[in-house]
Structure 1
Amino acid sequence: MASITEFVKRPDFGRVGHPIRLRTNYFEVIAFPSSNIYHYDIVIIPEVPPTLNRKIFQVAENSFPGIRAVFDGRRNVYTIRPFPFGDAQALDVTMPEDNAGGRTPRTFKIMIRRVAVINMEEINRFLNGRGSISSNILTGIMVLNILIHNKPSKEHIKVGRVFYTNQGSRSLSGGVEVWQGYFQSIRPTPRKLMINVDLHATAFYESDSLVQLVAKKLNKKSVDDLRGIHNRDRTKLEKCLKNLKIFDTHRGEVASRRRFRISKLTNTPASSTKFEVNGQQIDIATYFFNTYNKRLQYPFLPCIVIRRETYLPMEVCNVVEGQHYMRKLNERQTENMIKFTCQPPSSRANKISQCIEVLNYRLNEYMQQFGFRVSNEMAIIQARVLPTPTLHYHPASKEDTFIPKDGLWNLRNKKFATGATLGSWSCAVFGSERYYPMGAIQKFIRELITTCQDTGMNIPNKNPPIQHCNPQGGIETALRQVWVKAGNLAKSKPQLILCILPNTGVSLYAEIKRVGDTVIGVASQCVQGKHMFTVKKQYCANVCLKINVKLGGMNSFINPSQMPFITQRPTILMGASVTHPAPGAENMGRPSIAAVTASMDAKAYRYAASIRVQTGRQEVISDLAEMVKELLKTFYMTCGRKPERILFYRDGVSEGQFSIVLKDETKSIKEACRSLDEKYKPTITFVVVQKRHHTRFFPTNARDGDRTGNCSSGTVVDSTIVHPFEFDFYLQSHPNLQGTSRPMHYHVLLDENVFNADSLQTLTYNLCYNFARCTRAVSIVPPVYYAHLVCARARFHASGENWSDPDTPDTPEGAGVARYAAVKTELLKTMYFM
């Protein structure tokens, strides 16, 4: 019998750990249509945006009494009963124009044509594990998604799969506000369909007068402060306002208000921007006074230009409500956004339950006609909390072996399992001696050295050379000088440059990392200047964790008996991630960065990295074979053995790309092995790790949660809300600091190592205690976490980037791939990215 999936079937259900019950943000679909659904193609002429399409179709729908059709706003219409006209029909629809200032009502031509019948019965076979996924099933589930989105699409602002409402909106500053959104998506699960409902928030422009928006954008207290806008501000403003929808307010009655898009700003103020009327030049301010008897309050502001050189003074324009703000938020806006979205689990769960009232499934006439019913209660599911692994530090520690509690521990009474030696190093202080006096720096360095030694590092050189450097420029020259000083003093190759920074700005940090990683080839450790003056043991300890690992040390390790898969035979863990440039036309030609990190020892603690720059927004890693080959060679050079097993964790692949990524990337891994030796065929397990999903867990009993009200570290779910029959599970491995925790979703696509549910879940959870730069379990398995860090670091290796201001234009198009410098080969074999 042919397999029902090209991936891995669930081998069994996990049993390890103590059982608990959780609430989750899934609502059971009690009934959905089992009869066929009719699919029609619809063309509306002339072409208009989806929002207007929906209004046009709503008028057309009245021609077919008794039939409730659902429409995706573009080309597809679905009904549970066929339309009465056979296979095709053409209609004319006249829109009663709602914003017509004496404009003639518009007429649209609609062509409807039946294109397919969708067999809904097949979905049941799939949910019960009796049939594989097919395009008919995917279409059927897509239709049900369109059905649940159909009514809210008419009542709310929709962005992607999320509906937003401005009830309870809050200002983020700078003319931008945050709206609450509701996400909903139909998910196939064992034996039933469920709706995953979650909260989301996004930024919108404030629907204020345009003048107010401009004052807020430029951070002015009032409009009067806008006199004499500088050229730089004008350029910034034009970039922010381009394509913003506005309506005019100077023609009195609401009916005549027209909507426009801003195309640009004038270089001159309204009082001196002129155009021709009846052969005479007249400025905008005079024209408005003569024509509308309106004296401009702010004639010193530039005018906005809308199509065909039509000018409007800013003060007669209002911003249309509900426009999504697509630009990157600045620091203050981000801070306010986090305050709005960061909710404890109980209040998030309550809001999700209320959301069912907002979406109002029960009184939805479209759902009623399709025979679609949904439970009003959140699903309660079975979960388990996995046992915590045992950690080991150096035997000379007072507390060398222990089991962390609640996913947390600290360095008190502990020495690193392997302490590195720091002999050749120096300190670059970015700021003048006036701000950072020598005495304060030396005191901080003494405290840092003491902490490093207390935790088991060896520091023979306790007086590194210190140099004050200019943070504004010449950073490469300064770092080279500091590097030379370290080498000359210690008479050996420098291992580390300690950099003291004046602020948290990205540009200086990025330049230090670019120079250290790609020009000099030395590890760097940055420290915030403010921490120098109040030297805290805890802060120094956190810095030591990073320094020890960068120099080749090992902070701690998991009891080998709790990771048999890694310790029994030579095994390599790999983590892969691809980061893409931020969305937006200005990033055309900017590449994506792919990184793979791999473990280099029997304790899966030390990692090496490989990086490639590839075509922007491409998910499959194009040069994976070479990257894997590099890492396998490094493993062999480090351990003297070839790995017999590969466990490959792959980040950030959506379900639609599982097939292509599995096919291309496992082929690359096998090719890499073959290229080293024709007979070399290690067994491979390929697991996708997804963090961008909307599944959340809420303890039903306070006993089963942690102090933040989240589920405990080690909570695993592999039934009820997972795939109907493939091998996947949710794991919440980390203790949370604030807000509601997000579990990771692990989905096995290939498994030549024949894991069962317990062995893979336990190994994955235990590895989360092996992350080198903190004393807590992390949310995602370390090989992937490290690959993220390597990608993020590689972004700093581009020359000519502007890291300072989210509103400054990006580098020119097509400036492409060559701008990224390569990390020095020797550094790639160390954990320089920590």
Structure 2
Amino acid sequence: MSSGLKLTEFVKRPGLGSKGKRVRVRANFFEVTALPEANIHHYDVTITPDVPPALNRKVFKRFEELERNGGLGDVKPIFDGRKNIFTCKPLPFGETATFDVNIPEDDGVTSTKRPPRSFKVKIKKVNSINMEELRRFLESKSELTPNCLTAIMALDVLVRHQPSMSYNTVGRSFYTPEGSQALFGGVEVWQGYYQSVRPAPNMMMINIDLSATAFFEGGPLVQLVLKLLGRRNADELRRGITDRDRSKLEKSLKKLKIKVTHRGDTVAKRRFRILKITNTPASATKFDVEGQPTDVASYFQKTYNMRLNYPFLPCVVIRKENYLPMEVCDVIEGQRHTRKLNEKQTADMIKFTCQQPHMRANKIKRGLEILNYRSNPYLQQFGMKVSNEMAVVNARVLPTPTLQYHQSSREASFSPRDGSWNLRDKKVATGATLGSWAVIAFGSERDMQMQAIQHFVRELIITCQDTGMNIPNRTPPILHANPHGDIEGSVKQAWVRAGNTAKSKPQLILCILPNTGVGLYAEIKRVSDTVIGVATQCVQSRHMFSAKKQYCANVCLKMNVKLGGMNSFILPAEVPFISERPTILMGADVTHPAPGDTARPSIAALCASMDAKASRYAASIRVQTGRQEIISDLSGMCKELLKTFYQTCGKKPDRILFYRDGVSEGQFSQVLEGEIKAVRAACRGLDANYKPKVTFVVVQKRHHARFFPMDRKDADRTGNCMPGTVVESQITHPFEFDFYLQSHAGLQGTSRPTHYHVLFDENGFNPDSLQTLSYNLCYVFARCTRAVSLVPPVYYAHLVCARARFHSRGENWNDNDGTSEESTSTALTFGTVKPELQKVMYFM
């Protein structure tokens, strides 16, 4: 290999770290013990007419049966369901061939009226994939070429081909109805298995994990309708259904596949899609039969001698003027529920997916039996073998940092144990003073009694004082407001009352909310952040009534940083990168609208530290084109925050450590190119000679790597790995600088480590310095006394994005159940955060 060959445009791994206690963990990766030796042949396939992947697979299966000894010879091709076929040796027909394939209509039942569907399958040779080149990449002897990427894709298709022909496939996972569990409202959750072929140092690995997704329950349509509407039985709908229920049903049932039960076996297998629902019940839905108007109920009585049990229910429309009573329809099993789940369904889904580490590991092993790599004829033909044992990898548990609270605390500096601690005997590092404030209770004086509010305010003030805040004004004015009324007016009124009572500019409004609904909360934040410019602290009435000390302490942490205070910081000696020279930490994230929503924008947020302790942050927000991952105005956002840093501590940062969230591997180059340029441009825009050193790290939580302790003594009380567990070899990139860090203590289920990948580094980090810095930072997330799973700059950027969604006018949050296709978002206007809040952590 010539020394001039550049292996990667990103950063090469500068070695391995040594800090911390060495342990071994199991990771849900399975080694590919034998890779295909020979070249793999890649063909492009076009199936016309164009149909969804599930039907493409049926066509392909039929094509295989027909051409087993003809056009395919003895080759078993593998298919990705869309455009690509791979084979272990050339197909006999040469460069290109076209085949006619007929598949019987509707799963093998050909009625006289409907001829079989005919398809054309056109296959064309693309090229041969050189497997030797992939080996060289894995051995760090060659860069990741397009040929290597295609080889990895081919292996991915190879391990997925057999399960995708037999099971319901969604993305990289396939799902089985075994062990499914009903969620609320006619939806059930199915267990799935995710698999992905990943390059690792000197070998390929297969990452296997559990996944779960929601499906509609199969069976009688009437039962599904009752569950969707939350009714016990059909008699409750005798009086007909309301317009609101009807529109809810239509949204849920549109495009759902059904089969009919009233026409014997020949038609029973015919499948129809629901287009819409009639406005009228079956007894009043009329159409013409031989020139005579007749209703659906009478037609069924006359034609099929069938008296409808539920003539009061609407009909489903399957084609124009083609109506079916709901009671003769069965929902076909295995149809994905793609709409947003409601709160109850989400809670049930979490229960289903939340599994202790040892249970998850056992289920993954069971998944191996279903995947059955050992006796998979396709794998055998390509000469690929996979280990049945989960990989055992080397890990280290990093030392816990020392946290600093105020000098006057009984416990001013200490090292937490097991990733969590409490505020007993501790005072915040810098306590804010709260002099001018007011309280609004959203609810009537009957529901929110004055006595209960005053008691809560007293408890909160005592806790805040004990925790080191200063609250000279202990009797803020208390107002009641209608939660369904003019929220903007109520918040403004509280602001005026606070100012008049304290004779100074209001600093905070404490809002007591009657419920957990989003609507009221969203409107309070829109008004306080973008109209008035005052910090607000919302609490739910149920917490107010119990006024627990622990709860008050958590509220106090949030109030303190909203008022410009600082809760804690890390001993400067333990974060030398930040404390030795002026250094700014930045975290960026972009959130996108819900799937299918073409009208709403994406929101980009950037958060940056403001001083040498890196505990206080400022934020900048931009609204940009929907679904765009690259941050459009990153340069402008950086400029704002570099200025804030300078104004706060009188120095320009010498170094920038930029953590970027939400970027997939395929976008690394694009983001690196565009966003580093933008950071540089921001620096030049402030001063032509200003060139701080930049390090750019991508942070990923959306991956399927999981770690399982091998020894009970290396596990925490939930059975997860200890906080500070870092893995940087065996399952990471063959030669780039990346690592997995699980920085938090598990609460429930199996913890997900965070994947850090360094794309650019002018600061010369070694693995120890970047890993320990990233881990230590996770202890100074301002709103809780736990180590968190993500570095705070990125965590804050998440919070800012979520908050910015509430800054839009014309959004109906109360009714927004995630069904955004009909969103009237053209009318949305986003307010900007008032300057007086931009330098404090208002988003907490």
Task: Give the TM-score range, shorter chain.
Answer: over 0.9
Contact 2:73 2:91 in 1 (8 A): no
Asked if 1:517 is matched to 2:529, the reply is yes
Contact 1:175 1:213 in 2 (8 A): yes
2:660 to 627, 647, 650: 650
Q: 1:594 to 1:73 in 2, by over 3 A?
A: same
Asked if 1:699 is matched to 2:709, the reply is yes
Contact 1:329 1:806 in 2 (8 A): no
1:120-159 aligned at under 5 Å gives the runs 120-159=131-170
1:595 to 605, 618, 628: 605
SS in 2 for 1:796: helix
Letter in 2 for 1:410: N
1:531-546 aligned at under 5 Å gives the runs 531-546=543-558
Letter in 2 for 1:56: V
Q: 1:144 to 1:811 in 2, by over 3 A?
A: closer
Deviation of 1:87 after TM superposition, in Å, equals 1.5
Asked if 1:224 is matched to 2:235, the reply is yes
Letter in 2 for 1:778: V
Q: 1:541 to 1:256 in 2, by over 3 A?
A: closer
1:92 to 93, 96, 100: 100
* CA offsets 1:518-563 (integer angstroms, 9 cap, x no match): 1110000011111222221101101111111111111111000000
Deviation of 1:109 after TM superposition, in Å, equals 2.6
Asked if 1:666 is matched to 2:669, the reply is no
Deviation of 1:86 after TM superposition, in Å, equals 1.6
Any gaps of 5 or more consecutive residues in structure 2? none
Distance 1:88 1:562 in 2: 64
- Give 1:19's aligned residue: 22
Contact 2:77 2:86 in 1 (8 A): yes
1:80 to 88, 92, 99: 88
1:332-343 aligned at under 5 Å gives the runs 332-343=344-355
Asked if 1:829 is matched to 2:836, the reply is no
| TM-score calculated relative to the size of structure 1 | 0.98
Deviation of 1:361 after TM superposition, in Å, equals 0.7
1:754 to 764, 767, 786: 764
1:326-725 aligned at under 5 Å gives the runs 326-584=338-596, 587-725=597-735
Number of aligned residues: 832
Letter in 1 for 2:185: G
Deviation of 1:808 after TM superposition, in Å, equals 7.5
Contact 1:56 1:95 in 2 (8 A): yes
Name which of structure 1's ranges 342-351 and 95-104 shifts more when overlaid on structure 2.
95-104
Q: 1:526 to 1:256 in 2, by over 3 A?
A: closer
Distance 2:816 2:173 in 1: 25
| TM-score calculated relative to the size of structure 2 | 0.97
- Give 1:7's aligned residue: 10
Deviation of 1:815 after TM superposition, in Å, equals 3.1
Deviation of 1:613 after TM superposition, in Å, equals 0.2
* CA offsets 1:313-341 (integer angstroms, 9 cap, x no match): 11111111110000000011011101100
Contact 1:593 1:611 in 2 (8 A): yes
Asked if 1:51 is matched to 2:54, the reply is yes
- Give 2:303's aligned residue: 291
Deviation of 1:55 after TM superposition, in Å, equals 2.4
Distance 1:811 1:425 in 2: 41
Deviation of 1:256 after TM superposition, in Å, equals 4.5
Contact 1:734 1:779 in 2 (8 A): yes
Deviation of 1:255 after TM superposition, in Å, equals 5.5
Deviation of 1:14 after TM superposition, in Å, equals 0.6
1:179-218 aligned at under 5 Å gives the runs 179-218=190-229
Distance 1:146 1:389 in 2: 45
Deviation of 1:816 after TM superposition, in Å, equals 4.2
Q: 1:509 to 1:72 in 2, by over 3 A?
A: same
Distance 2:333 2:342 in 1: 22
Deviation of 1:53 after TM superposition, in Å, equals 2.1
Deviation of 1:721 after TM superposition, in Å, equals 0.3
Deviation of 1:39 after TM superposition, in Å, equals 1.2
SS in 1 for 2:183: strand
Letter in 2 for 1:557: F
Deviation of 1:96 after TM superposition, in Å, equals 4.8
Contact 1:249 1:257 in 2 (8 A): no
Contact 1:591 1:816 in 2 (8 A): no
Percentage of pairs with the same residue:
66
Contact 1:101 1:256 in 2 (8 A): no
Deviation of 1:35 after TM superposition, in Å, equals 1.4
Distance 1:703 1:391 in 2: 25
SS in 2 for 1:452: helix
Name which of structure 1's ranges 69-78 and 347-356 shifts more when overlaid on structure 2.
69-78
Letter in 2 for 1:154: M
- Give 2:177's aligned residue: 166
SS in 2 for 1:173: coil
Deviation of 1:814 after TM superposition, in Å, equals 7.0
Contact 2:226 2:232 in 1 (8 A): yes
* CA offsets 1:624-662 (integer angstroms, 9 cap, x no match): 000000000111111101001000000010000000000
Distance 1:137 1:809 in 2: 40
Distance 1:208 1:59 in 2: 28
- Give 2:319's aligned residue: 307
Letter in 2 for 1:516: S
Deviation of 1:812 after TM superposition, in Å, equals 5.2
Distance 1:496 1:471 in 2: 19
* CA offsets 1:202-233 (integer angstroms, 9 cap, x no match): 00000021111111100001111122101111
1:764 to 764, 769, 774: 774
Contact 1:593 1:612 in 2 (8 A): yes
Distance 1:73 1:553 in 2: 56
Letter in 2 for 1:783: P
Distance 2:720 2:345 in 1: 26
Letter in 2 for 1:712: M
Deviation of 1:817 after TM superposition, in Å, equals 8.3
Q: 1:106 to 1:221 in 2, by over 3 A?
A: same
Distance 1:95 1:618 in 2: 40
* CA offsets 1:757-777 (integer angstroms, 9 cap, x no match): 000000000000010000010
- Give 1:732's aligned residue: 742
